[in-house]
Structure 1
Amino acid sequence: MDAKDSLLIPIFQLILSIFTNMKKMEYRVIGVMSGTSLDGLDLVFAEINFNDEVDFSIVNSETIPYSAEWRQKLSSAINLDPAALHQLDVEYTSYLSNVISQFIQKNDIDLLDAVCSHGHTVKHRPKDGITLQIGNLPQLGKALGIPVVCDFRVQDVELGGQGAPLVPIGDKLLFNQYKYCINLGGFANISQEKDSQRIAYDICPVNTVSNYFMQKIGEEYDENGKLARSGELNEELLEELNSLKFYRKKPPKSLGVEWVNSDILPLIEKYKIEIPEILKTYTVHVAIQIAKSLDDDPSSDVLLTGGGVFNTYLIEELKLRSSCNFIIPDNQVIDFKEALIFALLGVLKLRGEINVLSSVTGAKIDHSSGRIYEP
């Protein structure tokens, strides 16, 4: 080997190293989200690119409502013994694969890098080291024939975190033009940049409670908050709700259905009042708790997303209690922001980059969470 050849070898190795370590910059992914309000499965097909700032385009989106049978199965899953819960996990994973496959076929989607799925939360008791989302079994990747990224919460709880909320990394990367990002779903959660770090936490239950009482009268939800608007305000109940210990806790903090079942529903039901009065009082309670989380500055932009945005009475009550500038985006962002961000979480996992922030969850470190299942 002459001197010329010996010089070419390290140059070739350097070029090879550069190409080997270059990360893919554009991704075609499906994000799947099932929330605690049990409205249904939210699916988005999105293109996410990292060429400059992280950017996205939602190409297709759809909500698949849960049947009455699936709503009953999921709402009662928390009470199942381990064997029955495992069987439900298998059934739900199969159900997910069918829904996702139909979404792919309907929209003629190809060249997918991954399906990124949240699963459905059955148990969330982070102080006991427990969080469980069903639908995150390896069979999902095998059934779809596509890489699957899922089970995003478990690692964070193992690292001492709350396992929630996970959406704030998406707020930071995709929606950082807003001072606050608030999602009004089964629970209300808030995200903001403070002292050069992202802070986020669950504020209070929203649709988890209102839908529970609407279903007692045969309705799925209170459209536009009409029934709540018609009710009387129960000052005594309102005071008790606002006095709950959770609201005095400092972040990081998160909520699960367990807390609703143990602290919220029994408190409301002991009053033995009519449902319009319950809904009115609870809606005002939600507005008060959200307003307390804001700085009441008219120059502060607040992005509102999630199904609760369509409750016009809730939004009116919120605006009565805060001077912030509330921004309601287009319906696609309102309905599918969380599914979009779980698509982003999956891409970050594929890239080996941080997708969970310790400043948000209280975990020991920032980390890249989730499991990757190859087909």
Structure 2
Amino acid sequence: MTKRSFNVIGLMSGTSLDGLDLAYCKIFKEENAWNFKLLKSRSINYTEVFRNTLKASVTLSSVNLLILNNSFGTYLGEQVRDFINEEQLEVDFISSHGHTVFHQPEKGLTYQIGSGQHIATASNLKVISDFRTKDVTLGGQGAPFVPIGDQLFFSDFDFCLNLGGISNISYSEEGKRIAFDISPVNMLLNHLTNKIGKAYDDNGNLARKGTLNSELLKELNELEFYKLPFPKSLGYEWFQEKVIPIIDASSNSIEDLLHTSVHHIAYQIAECVNSTAKDASSKLLATGGGAKNGFFIETLQQYLQTTKLIVPNEELIDFKEAIVFALMGALRETEEINVLSSVTGACRNSCSGVIYLP
């Protein structure tokens, strides 16, 4: 009989570069439906030195990138080992997203560091990782992946919005799950606060003080990516090439740039929702670090018109992505579909993830 319950640690290191999320979950199937319980969680902030190392990883030589891949894998395994020992956890396996360095699916390329074998060796546990490569080889974007969790865990909501380094959204249309990346979020906001020595804009207080630069807003909104049809996805390289030059060329104050950026992000998200929402009772679930930015959430609700924006408890805000990667590992373990072609544009659905043994 196939096992229907797993104790999994989901690992997530996002493009916002704020740190590592560990979610110890019970992922289980009953009455033919998958469900979860988040039993323990932990966030580990990256040091400024390590954050800069990850940010600069796109510039490394091939040899140095491989060295970082291995050392980061060992680091992940050590963090899991400490988490397990300190909390006295019983774990079946680890499911790791890794940290995205390159994401250029149009070239058949996606690369996440955090060697699965090094995680397995350091933690002495089975590891499932490298979820994106298979989908890209099937002609897909290799992103976003959270929609499989939206479909199986959060189907009560009309829209599920993730506000991490990048925003992405998912919803059902004609029986299929649709999802795509929308815009940068914390990748952009944190880029600005880093200029004044702050890791992030607490509750959007700095942005709230600023004023809107209409010309800058128009320039950002006219970026070519926003005109592309889905499926589509974003990576740090796009942000570095297309957005940073616009932002860094401005002589506005950081407060004005943050304020304008918040309006830009909210506008792009609302454009997607308002053109899709079927009635005035639509509900949107917002999670990820951006959901803690009070000024952004207020601004987004204004743009959303009738759709009701729902921000859940802080634990779900912080750990939803790690929970979903725990689910993806469980689906890989039971050899069920965990990547949806309707989301990524691949030629077929797939069961993705590479297994590593200690």
TM-score (norm 1): 0.93
Q: Distance in 2 between matches of 1:232 and 1:300?
A: 30
Deviation, 1:319, is 1.0
Match of 1:233 among 189, 202, 212: 212
How far does the alpha carbon of each residue in 1:261-306 deviate from its partner, in whole angstroms, 9 at most, with x for none?
A: 0101101222222111111111000110111111354300100000
Gaps of 5+ in 2: none
1:351 alignment partner in structure 2: 334
Match of 1:162 among 112, 135, 141: 141
SS in 2 for 1:294: helix
Q: Distance in 1 between matches of 2:111 and 2:145?
A: 15
SS in 1 for 2:30: coil
1:86 alignment partner in structure 2: 66
SS in 2 for 1:233: coil
The aligned runs of 1:184-333 (5 Å cut-off) are 184-295=163-274, 297-322=279-304, 323-333=306-316
Q: Distance in 2 between matches of 1:275 and 1:181?
A: 30
Match of 1:62 among 29, 32, 42: 42
Gaps of 5+ in 1: 1-21
1:103 alignment partner in structure 2: 83
Q: Distance in 2 between matches of 1:97 and 1:330?
A: 28
Cα pair 2:159 2:285 within 8 Å, conserved = yes
Q: Distance in 2 between matches of 1:136 and 1:356?
A: 21
1:116 alignment partner in structure 2: 95
SS in 2 for 1:189: strand
Deviation, 1:70, is 1.0
Tell me whether 1:136 sits opposite 2:118 in the alignment: no
Q: Distance in 1 between matches of 2:63 and 2:192?
A: 30
How far does the alpha carbon of each residue in 1:332-353 deviate from its partner, in whole angstroms, 9 at most, with x for none?
A: 1110000000000001001111
Cα pair 2:12 2:20 within 8 Å, conserved = yes
Q: Distance in 2 between matches of 1:127 and 1:299?
A: 37
1:337 alignment partner in structure 2: 320
1:23 alignment partner in structure 2: 2
Q: CA RMSD in A?
A: 0.9
Deviation, 1:222, is 0.4
Q: Given residue 45 of structure 2, which amino acid in structure 1 is its aligned partner?
A: P
Q: Distance in 2 between matches of 1:271 and 1:227?
A: 17
1:14 alignment partner in structure 2: none
1:149 alignment partner in structure 2: 128
Tell me whether 1:46 sits opposite 2:25 in the alignment: yes
How far does the alpha carbon of each residue in 1:192-244 deviate from its partner, in whole angstroms, 9 at most, with x for none?
A: 01011000000100000110110110000000111111111100000111111
Q: Given residue 308 of structure 1, which amino acid in structure 2 is its aligned partner?
A: G
How far does the alpha carbon of each residue in 1:293-328 deviate from its partner, in whole angstroms, 9 at most, with x for none?
A: 113543001000001011110111111111211111
Q: Distance in 1 between matches of 2:169 and 2:20?
A: 22
Q: Distance in 1 between matches of 2:118 and 2:282?
A: 45
SS in 1 for 2:23: strand
Match of 2:53 among 70, 73, 77: 73
Cα pair 2:72 2:115 within 8 Å, conserved = no
Q: Distance in 2 between matches of 1:68 and 1:373?
A: 30
Q: Given residue 336 of structure 1, which amino acid in structure 2 is its aligned partner?
A: F
Q: Distance in 1 between matches of 2:46 and 2:183?
A: 24
Q: Distance in 1 between matches of 2:73 and 2:338?
A: 24
Deviation, 1:142, is 2.1
Deviation, 1:164, is 0.3
1:34 alignment partner in structure 2: 13
Cα pair 2:70 2:115 within 8 Å, conserved = no
Q: Given residue 306 of structure 1, which amino acid in structure 2 is its aligned partner?
A: G
Deviation, 1:94, is 1.1
Report how many aligned residue pairs link the two structures.
Answer: 353
Deviation, 1:106, is 1.4
How far does the alpha carbon of each residue in 1:237-262 deviate from its partner, in whole angstroms, 9 at most, with x for none?
A: 00111111111111100000011001
Deviation, 1:74, is 0.3
Q: Distance in 2 between matches of 1:285 and 1:291?
A: 10
